């Protein structure tokens, strides 16, 4: 089935994974609001994807890996291979106990992430609806 999917679909799939991870990380931040010394974690995806899209890479042959244990052939990477990363922000302090979780900010980010996730799901559903129409030959 993967040969039917364009590279842009892989980007949307990775963005969905990032949004899911971001929701878990934000929930974890909120759960640790009273934990002394806890530092807020963030999920980085959009900035990494933007960098990958802006890079001018020479077009070379890239072998498709069907298993992560396979060796890479050609230049690996590209926007469709971008994965989310979790980072910790040790620089700011909100509480005297060293905790830097701001609940209002985290709740705002959670709502924003939910809207983003819903948009990605709609895009995925739209893709499969169009694919279904093509398979049924427009009937």
Distance in angstroms (rounded) separating the CA atoms of residues 122 and 7: 18
> What pLDDT score was predicted for residue 49?
86
pTM of the full predicted structure?
0.76
Question: What's the pLDDT tens digit per position in 120-138?
Answer: 999 999 988 888 888 888 6
Token digits for 93?
A: 């302090």
Give bridge partners of residue 86 from the DSSP assignment: 43
Q: How far from chain centre, in Å, is Cα 41?
A: 15
Contact 63, 78 (CB under 8 A): no
pLDDT at 84 over 60: yes
- H-state helical runs in 1-139: 7-31, 46-54, 103-135
> What pLDDT score was predicted for residue 123?
92
């Amino acid at each position: 089935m993967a040969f039917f999917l364009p590279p842009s679909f892989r980007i949307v799939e990775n963005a969905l994974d990032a949004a899911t991870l971001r929701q878990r990380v934000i929930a974890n931040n909120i759960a640790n609001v009273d934990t002394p010394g806890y530092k807020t974690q963030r999920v980085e995806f959009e900035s990494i994807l933007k960098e990958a899209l802006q890079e001018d890479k020479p077009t070379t042959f890239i072998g498709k890996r069907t298993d992560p244990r396979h060796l890479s052939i050609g230049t690996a990477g590209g926007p469709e291979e971008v994965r989310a990363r979790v980072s910790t922000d040790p620089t700011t302090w909100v509480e005297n106990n060293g905790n830097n979780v701001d609940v209002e900010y985290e709740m705002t980010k959670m709502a924003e992430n939910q809207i983003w996730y819903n948009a990605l799901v709609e895009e995925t559903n739209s893709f499969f609806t169009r694919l279904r129409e093509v398979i049924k030959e427009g009937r």
